[in-house]
Structure 1
Amino acid sequence: MRAPDGRLRTTSLRLRTVVAILVLLAVLLTGLVVAVEAVLGVRLRAQVEDRLRDRASAAAALVGVLDADDLADRLSAQGLSVRIVQPDGAAVEAGPTPAQLRAGPPDPKALPAPVPAEEGSSAAGSTASGARITSSSVHEDDGVLTLRSDLDDGTRITLTAGTRDVQETLAQLGWVMGGASAAFLGVAVVGVVVVVRRTLRPLDEVTAAARSIAGGDRGRRLRPARTDTEIGRVATAFDEMLDAVEGAEAQAVAAEERVRAFLSDAAHELRTPVAGVRAAADTLVRNGDDDPTTREVLAVHVVRQADRAARLVDDMLTMARLDRGIDLERRPTDLVPWLDTEVDRLRLRLPLTTIRVETPDTSVEADVDPDRLAQVVGNLVDNAARATGPEGTVRIGLTDTVDGPVLTVEDDGPGIASVDRERVFDRLVRLEDARDARSGGAGLGLPIARGIAVAHGGTLACGEVGDLGGAVFVLRLPSSAHVHAVAPPPLVPGASAR
Structure 2
Amino acid sequence: MRDGRLRTTSLRLRTVVAILVLLAVLLTALVVAVEAVLGARLTAQVEDRLRDRASAAAALVGVLDASDLADRLSAQGLSVRIVEPDGAAVEAGPSPEQLRKGPADPTGLPGPAARSSAAPSTTGTSDSAGDTITSSSVHEDDGVLTLRSDLEDGTRITLTAGTRDVQETLTQLGWVMGGASAAFLGVAVVGVVLVVRRSLRPLDEMTAAARSITAGDRGRRLRPSRTDTEIGRVALALDEMLDAVEGAEAQAVAAEERVRAFLSDAAHELRTPIAGVRAAADTLVRNGPDDPETNELLAVHVVRQADRAARLVDDMLTMARLDRGIALDRHRTDLVDWLDTEAERLRIRLPGVELHVEVPEHPVDADVDPDRLAQVLGNLVDNAARATGGTGTVWLRLSVGPEGARLRVEDDGPGIPAADRERVFDRLVRLEDARDTRSGGAGLGLPIARGIAVAHGGSLAHGGDGELGGAVFDVRLPASATVPAGARPRAGVLLA
| 2:219 maps to amino acid | G
Tell me the CA shift for residue 133 of structure 1. Answer: 1.0
Aligned to 1:65: 63
Distance 2:166 2:255 in 1: 86
Contact 1:62 1:127 in 2 (8 A): no
Alignment of 1:188-203 (within 5 A): 188-203=188-203
Aligned to 1:380: 380
Contact 2:92 2:111 in 1 (8 A): no
Give aligned-pair identity as a percent.
Answer: 82
Aligned to 1:341: 341
Aligned to 2:358: 358
Distance 2:291 2:196 in 1: 96
| 2:357 maps to amino acid | V
Distance 1:327 1:434 in 2: 31
Distance 1:388 1:434, change over 3 A: closer
Aligned to 1:496: none
Residue 293 of structure 1 aligns to a residue whose secondary structure is helix
> Which digits, 9 at most, give the CA deviation of each residue in 1:416-468, with x for residues without a partner?
11111111111111112664422121000011111111111222111223222
Aligned to 2:489: none
Residue 476 of structure 1 aligns to a residue whose secondary structure is strand
Residue 363 of structure 1 aligns to a residue whose secondary structure is coil
Tell me the CA shift for residue 77 of structure 1. Answer: 1.0
Contact 1:73 1:95 in 2 (8 A): yes
Between stretches 177-186 and 362-371, larger displacement belongs to: 362-371
Alignment of 1:298-313 (within 5 A): 298-313=298-313
Whether 1:279 aligns to 2:262 is no
Contact 2:92 2:112 in 1 (8 A): no
Distance 1:40 1:48 in 2: 12
Whether 1:39 aligns to 2:37 is yes
Contact 1:399 1:407 in 2 (8 A): yes
Aligned to 1:492: none
Distance 1:258 1:11 in 2: 46
Tell me the CA shift for residue 140 of structure 1. Answer: 0.8
Distance 2:40 2:12 in 1: 42
Tell me the CA shift for residue 285 of structure 1. Answer: 1.9
Distance 1:300 1:188 in 2: 96
Aligned to 2:484: none
Contact 2:273 2:308 in 1 (8 A): yes
Residue 290 of structure 2 aligns to a residue whose secondary structure is coil
Alignment of 1:4-19 (within 5 A): 4-19=2-17
Distance 1:127 1:247, change over 3 A: farther
Alignment of 1:78-477 (within 5 A): 78-105=76-103, 107=105, 108=107, 110-111=109-110, 129-432=129-432, 435-477=435-477
Contact 1:352 1:390 in 2 (8 A): yes
Between stretches 399-408 and 13-22, larger displacement belongs to: 399-408
Aligned to 2:75: 77
Tell me the CA shift for residue 236 of structure 1. Answer: 1.0
Contact 2:336 2:360 in 1 (8 A): yes
> Which digits, 9 at most, give the CA deviation of each residue in 1:251-296, with x for residues without a partner?
1111111111111111111111111111111222222223222222
> Which digits, 9 at most, give the CA deviation of each residue in 1:96-145, with x for residues without a partner?
1111111114543644589xxxxxxxx99x99511111111111111111
Distance 1:341 1:221 in 2: 58
Residue 129 of structure 1 aligns to a residue whose secondary structure is coil
Residue 283 of structure 1 aligns to a residue whose secondary structure is helix
Between stretches 428-437 and 60-69, larger displacement belongs to: 428-437
Distance 1:297 1:105 in 2: 140
Between stretches 167-176 and 399-408, larger displacement belongs to: 399-408
Contact 1:98 1:160 in 2 (8 A): yes
Contact 1:17 1:196 in 2 (8 A): yes
- In structure 1, the gaps of 5 or more residues are 115-122, 482-498
Between stretches 31-40 and 246-255, larger displacement belongs to: 246-255
For the aligned residue pairs, the C-alpha RMSD in angstroms reads 1.9
Contact 2:366 2:480 in 1 (8 A): yes
Tell me the CA shift for residue 50 of structure 1. Answer: 1.0
Contact 2:315 2:444 in 1 (8 A): yes
Distance 2:45 2:361 in 1: 109
Count of matched residue pairs: 470
Distance 2:109 2:51 in 1: 24
Distance 2:265 2:84 in 1: 128
TM-score (norm 2): 0.91
Contact 1:83 1:92 in 2 (8 A): yes
Aligned to 2:120: none
Residue 429 of structure 2 aligns to a residue whose secondary structure is coil
| 2:333 maps to amino acid | T
| 1:39 maps to amino acid | V
| 1:466 maps to amino acid | G
Distance 2:349 2:337 in 1: 19
Contact 2:409 2:474 in 1 (8 A): yes
TM-score (norm 1): 0.91
Between stretches 307-316 and 283-292, larger displacement belongs to: 283-292
Distance 2:249 2:274 in 1: 37
Aligned to 2:26: 28
Residue 289 of structure 2 aligns to a residue whose secondary structure is coil
Residue 441 of structure 1 aligns to a residue whose secondary structure is coil
Residue 288 of structure 1 aligns to a residue whose secondary structure is helix
Residue 54 of structure 1 aligns to a residue whose secondary structure is helix
- In structure 2, the gaps of 5 or more residues are 114-123, 482-496
